[in-house]
């Protein structure tokens, strides 16, 4: 009997520490509101819907306190509250529905971010989480330290940078793109809009551009010591008789767009789609 009571006591003490807390909150906001979301670990899935409401559902892991939701109307802040200096807390896995045209700002540390079906501006940042975005907003900015960035759809302007994550942009059309990394690879597969401008630069990552064979663009490609492979038919040349640098400049199609690629030691591949 004593053993059973002891076991029950231990279980009762342990329950709050392991229990997951379910979240289900809804707030009214303007259709074009700015919605900010902060979470440290776990996952965030954000998607647009036709209601002028923000709905937050999901679970809070071990030790987490609550989700703080403040503001209304033109701005709403959603923040997962972690105990200070809690290094063994669980993560928060949240699914957030937002007005399709709202402006989103999302920050995480290790939590993955997945965003889809929104058409407002978006800014997404994570330290080590993977950021996957499919939006049609006028501008998109994504930043990570080591997390991979995957852009599956975006509006006219895309800006993404990472230190060591891989940047992948696969979308129908890219109008203005700035993709930068330090050591991460950069892959772009898209049609470049007429008069568009795309820049990709990395210190040691590889850069791969898969473009339609008839893409209309002027290309300016620089590599200090990496290889340049070009399926569009032009060969790179040495830039200096004193260093190993190589560059490739050529025009394809109507040449109305501009494509710039720079790397120190990565391989550059310009491939036909």
* Residues engaged in binding other proteins (CB under 8 A): 84-85, 87, 109-110, 125, 127-128, 143, 145-146, 161, 163-164, 176, 180, 182-183, 195, 197, 201, 203-204, 218, 222, 224-225, 239-240, 242-245, 247, 251, 255-256, 258, 262-265
- The closest of 66, 58, 68 to 22, measured between CA atoms, is 58
Which residue, 11 or 17, has its beta carbon nearer to other proteins?
17
Nearer to other proteins among residue 93 and residue 176 (C-beta)? 176
Instruction: Give min distance, CB of 242 to other proteins, in A.
Output: 6
Give dist(CA 142, CA 69) in Å, integer: 23
Calculate the alpha carbon distances from 10 to 6, 15, 16, 17, 219 in Å: 6, 9, 11, 11, 68
**Structure token pair of residue 219:** 């290309």
Is 213 exposed, middle or buried (CB count within 10 Å of its CB: 0-12, 13-18, 19+)? exposed
Cβ at position 202, least distance to other proteins in Å: 8
Nearest residue (CB) to other proteins, 97 versus 112: 112
Distance CA 101, CA 239 (A): 47
Closest distance of CB 108 from other proteins, Å: 11
Query: Which of 74, 249 has the CB closer to other proteins?
Result: 249
CB-nearer residue toward other proteins: 100 or 193: 193
* Residue 89 CB, nearest approach to other proteins (Å): 9
Residue whose structure tokens are 């940042």: 125
- Shortest distance (Å) from residue 209 CB to other proteins: 16
* b/e burial code for range 57-85 (CB count within 10 A of at least 16 → b): ebbbbeebeebebebeeeebebebebeee
């Amino acid at each position: 009997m004593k053993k059973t009571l002891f076991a029950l006591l231990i279980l009762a003490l342990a329950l709050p520490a392991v229990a997951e807390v379910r979240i289900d909150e809804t707030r009214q906001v303007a259709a074009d509101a700015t919605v900010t979301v902060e979470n440290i670990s776990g996952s965030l899935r954000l998607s647009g819907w036709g209601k002028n409401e923000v709905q937050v559902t999901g679970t809070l892991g071990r030790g987490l306190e609550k989700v703080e939701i403040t503001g209304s109307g033109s701005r709403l802040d959603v923040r997962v509250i972690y105990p200070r200096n809690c290094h063994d807390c669980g993560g928060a896995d949240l699914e957030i529905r937002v007005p399709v045209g709202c402006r989103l700002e999302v920050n995480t540390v290790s939590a993955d971010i997945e965003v889809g079906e929104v058409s407002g501006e978006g800014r997404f940042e994570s330290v080590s989480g993977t950021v996957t975005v499919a939006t049609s907003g006028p501008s998109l900015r994504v930043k990570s330290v080591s997390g991979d960035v995957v852009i599956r759809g975006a509006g006219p302007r895309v800006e993404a940078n990472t230190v060591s994550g891989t940047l992948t942009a696969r979308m129908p059309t890219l109008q203005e793109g700035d993709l930068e990394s330090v050591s991460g690879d950069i892959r772009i597969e898209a049609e470049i809009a007429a008069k568009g401008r795309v820049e990709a630069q990395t210190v040691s990552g590889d850069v791969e551009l898969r473009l339609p064979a008839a893409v209309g663009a002027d290309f300016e490609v620089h590599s200090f010591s990496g290889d340049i492979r070009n399926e569009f038919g032009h060969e790179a040349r040495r830039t200096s008789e004193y260093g190993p640098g190589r560059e490739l400049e050529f025009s394809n199609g109507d040449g109305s767009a501009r494509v710039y690629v720079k790397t120190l030691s990565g391989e550059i591949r310009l491939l036909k789609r």
